Amino acid sequence: MDKLEAKHNTNDVVLKMQNVRKSFNTGLPNEVEILHGIDLILKRGEFCAVVGPSGSGKSTLLNIVGLLDRPTEGSLSICGEETTRMDDHALTRVRGHNIGFVFQFHNLLSAFSALENVMMPLLGEAEFPNKEMTERAAMLLDSVGLTPWRDQPAYQLSGGQQQRVALARALAMNPALLLADEPTGNLDTKSADAVFELLRKVSREQGMTVLFVTHDPSLAARCDKTIKVVDGKVVDDKEVDDKVVS
């Protein structure tokens, strides 16, 4: 691990995972280990694709990186903060400030408009709505090209538009790390390409680290780095075989 860490300047490291293991039904006869000692370092601005067959542990990995789940063993640092011993409140704070999420399905709150959805992370932080957060949400929606639809209820938007709103919302807190779990998986090729390019642009412009789960080899090939997860282990990008990624 030390060799891996040495490649990066510590200040640039956004994500550092050391020997992360995750088991379910711990202590029971049917205990099953999903992740078997993952080591991973991502530096600022890196655009990393995660590929691998279904059931290989990609979503579990993303949930742990996103602090939505805790590793059974190992350590996990986000922007230099060791998170494995943090309580729920501290994890929520780190997640809110440093991590943005874009999921494949069910991304938006249907009871709110596009603008209000983008405001949500800011509102959760500030507690009361204010003019600044409204303007920032409007600006983010504008940056993803959705100004004309900002007052539309979320459920009335198309799939591609919803993903763009989700991306704008993920950027609301200006996170250092963006986790995208197959954000293009439910979109047609044109929309998928548009969303991917948007992610690339944001990553480049804001120096944001992106961990991008995809089954699409062509999208994975356009990333800075690709890691392949097979049976709960990370295989180096040099070893990725596009035929396996399906």
Partner 1 sequence: MSEKALEASELKTLPSWQPFEWIVALRFLGEGRTQTAFIISGVALGVAVIVFMSALMAGLQSNITKSVLSGQAHIQLQPAKETVRPLRSSNSTLAVGAVVEGAIIQTPLQRIDSIDQWQSIMVQISEIPDVLVVSPAAKGSALVVRGNTSQAISINGVKPDLYFQIIDMTDKMVSGTMDLTGSDILIGIELASDLGVSLGDKIRVTMATGADNTLTITGIFDFGNKTANSQTTYVALRTAQSLLGMVGSVSVLDVNVKDIYAAETIAQRIEASTGVQADSWIKNNAQLFTSLGAQQSSNTVIRLFVALSVALGIASVLVVSVVQKSREIGILRAMGITRGQILRTFLLQGGLLGLCGSIIGTARWAVGFVRFYYWFCDGRGWIIDLDANANR
Instruction: List interacting residues with partner 1 (CB under 8 A).
Output: 66, 68, 88-89, 92-93, 95-97, 99, 101, 103, 106-113, 115-116, 119-121, 123-125, 127-131, 134-135, 138-139, 141-143, 147, 150-151, 169, 173
Own/partner pairs for 30-34, CB < 8 Å, 24+ apart? 33/72, 33/232, 34/60, 34/232
**Residue (136 or 228) nearer to partner 1, CB:** 136
**Residue (123 or 244) nearer to partner 1, CB:** 123
Residue 96 Cβ vs partner 1, minimum distance, rounded to whole Å: 2
What's the half-sphere exposure (Cβ side, CA atoms, 13 Å) at 28?
A: 8
From edge to edge, which strands make up the β-sheet containing 233-235?
99-102, 177-181, 209-213, 47-51, 225-230, 233-235
Residue 111 Cβ vs partner 1, minimum distance, rounded to whole Å: 4
Residue 161 Cβ vs partner 1, minimum distance, rounded to whole Å: 16
Secondary structure (3-state) at 33: strand
Cα pseudo-dihedral 82, 85, 88, 89, rounded to 10: -60
Residue 5 Cβ vs partner 1, minimum distance, rounded to whole Å: 27
The CA distance from 113 to 181, in Å, is: 23
**Residue (92 or 158) nearer to partner 1, CB:** 92
The CA distance from 74 to 65, in Å, is: 12
Q: Phi, psi at residue 99, to the nearest 5°?
A: -125, 135
**Residue (51 or 118) nearer to partner 1, CB:** 118
**Residue (155 or 218) nearer to partner 1, CB:** 155
Residue 235 Cβ vs partner 1, minimum distance, rounded to whole Å: 27
Residue 107 Cβ vs partner 1, minimum distance, rounded to whole Å: 7
Own/partner pairs for 2-6, CB < 8 Å, 24+ apart? 4/39, 4/41, 5/41
**Residue (18 or 181) nearer to partner 1, CB:** 181
